[in-house]
Amino acid sequence: MNSNTPEARVAIVTGGSRGIGRAIALALAQQGWNVCISYLSNAAAAEETAALVKQAGARALTVKADVASRADTRRLFAETQKSFGRLDALVNNAGIVGGQQSIFDVQEDHLHSVFDANVLGSFYCAAEAATAMSNQKGGQGGSIVNISSAASRTGGMPLEAHYAASKGAIDSLTLALAKELAPHGIRVNAVRPGLIDTEIHEAHGGQATLTKLAPTVPMGRVGRADEVAQVVAFLCGPLSSYMDGALVDVSGGR
Ligand code: NAP
């Protein structure tokens, strides 16, 4: 598909500046989607991703927007609408681990920071996307893909109950919205990555931890961001037209 026509599909990838989000933006661009890349603070990384999207022949927009802020998420969708005039998919990818924290030292601020970004952010963006894409409200239908984690079913790394629980919420949100939004022409699915080589693992030892854990993965290695991205792009597009409410594991058998 030519991404320079008004018919070209448009996706918002939250946290599209780095890691899995960058790979998703690129995979979508390679399939002819125009992409809005949102980020929290790393403008340089977001611009690098935008350059890669443009190299792939698609249009790119970067927007600095904290998903934990209702006002920022409203602005993110308004700016996308202003630039592209349509929306066909949302990838709720932005997320944080929030470091390691024992339940014996649980702290209100810490829990709020993780749940605000991982869970409330996904609610806010889903609400904006539903309004923009609902075929009962003038939209053309579309797709929402929530990035959960294998941690939602394994409990995750030691001392990261906050993260695992936030991703459990994403699984439930996916199942609930799949039902609520199907009559609006919007499919909602989730991808649950396993151990993927990105900077998020700096929260618990970085590359050393990945190297140590790789042999525990049935496939014997950690995954690459592009291996997650291909599945997300499939769920965004028409080839997955009868998938709704699926929780898809991309975890090397873990
Ligand atoms: P990453 O490399 O640390 O990238 C995180 C991205 O999210 C960055 O673009 C960052 O923006 C953005 N971000 C963080 N907080 C945000 C906020 N409040 N508002 C807006 N953007 C925010 O992480 P990743 O490994 O690619 O993870 C992406 C998603 O996959 C997350 O939801 C994560 O939980 C999930 N996941 C990852 C793995 C894994 O092994 N890597 C496994 C399972 C699930 P800046 O660049 O501006 O900081």
Catalytic positions: 163
Which residue, by CA, sits nearest to atom 12 of ligand 1? 15
Closest ligand 1 atom number to CA of residue 117? 18
For residue 107, what is the domain's CATH number? 3.40.50.720
Q: What is the pLDDT of residue 7?
A: 85
Q: Is the CB of 91 under 6 A from ligand 1?
A: no
Does 2 fall in a domain? no
Q: What is the pLDDT of residue 195?
A: 98
Q: How many CB atoms lie within 10 A of CB 244?
A: 19
Number of residues in the chain: 254
Does 212 fall in a domain? yes
Q: Is the CB of 41 under 6 A from ligand 1?
A: yes
Handedness of CA 18, 116, 244, 88 (dihedral sign): negative
CB 90 within 8 A of CB 126: yes
**Phi/psi at 225 (5° precision):** -60, -35
Q: Is the CB of 202 under 6 A from ligand 1?
A: no
What does each of the 254 residues of the chain score in pLDDT, given as a tens digit?
Answer: 567 787 899 999 999 999 999 999 999 999 999 999 999 999 999 999 999 999 999 999 999 999 999 999 999 999 999 999 999 999 999 999 999 999 999 999 999 999 999 999 999 999 999 999 999 999 999 999 999 999 999 999 999 999 999 999 999 999 999 999 999 999 999 999 999 999 999 989 999 999 999 999 999 999 999 999 999 999 999 999 999 999 999 999 99
Q: What is the pLDDT of residue 122?
A: 99
Does 254 fall in a domain? no
Predicted TM-score (pTM) of the model is 0.98
Q: What is the pLDDT of residue 1?
A: 56
SS (H, E, C) 33-74: CEEEEEECCCHHHHHHHHHHHHHCCCCEEEEECCCCCHHHHH
Does 41 fall in a domain? yes
200 CA to centre of ligand 1 in angstroms: 6
Does 116 fall in a domain? yes
19 CA to centre of ligand 1 in angstroms: 7
Domain count, the chain: 1
Does 179 fall in a domain? yes
Domain range holding 25? 10-249
5 CA to centre of ligand 1 in angstroms: 31
Does 175 fall in a domain? yes
Does 125 fall in a domain? yes
Q: Is the CB of 250 under 6 A from ligand 1?
A: no
CB 194 within 8 A of CB 249: yes
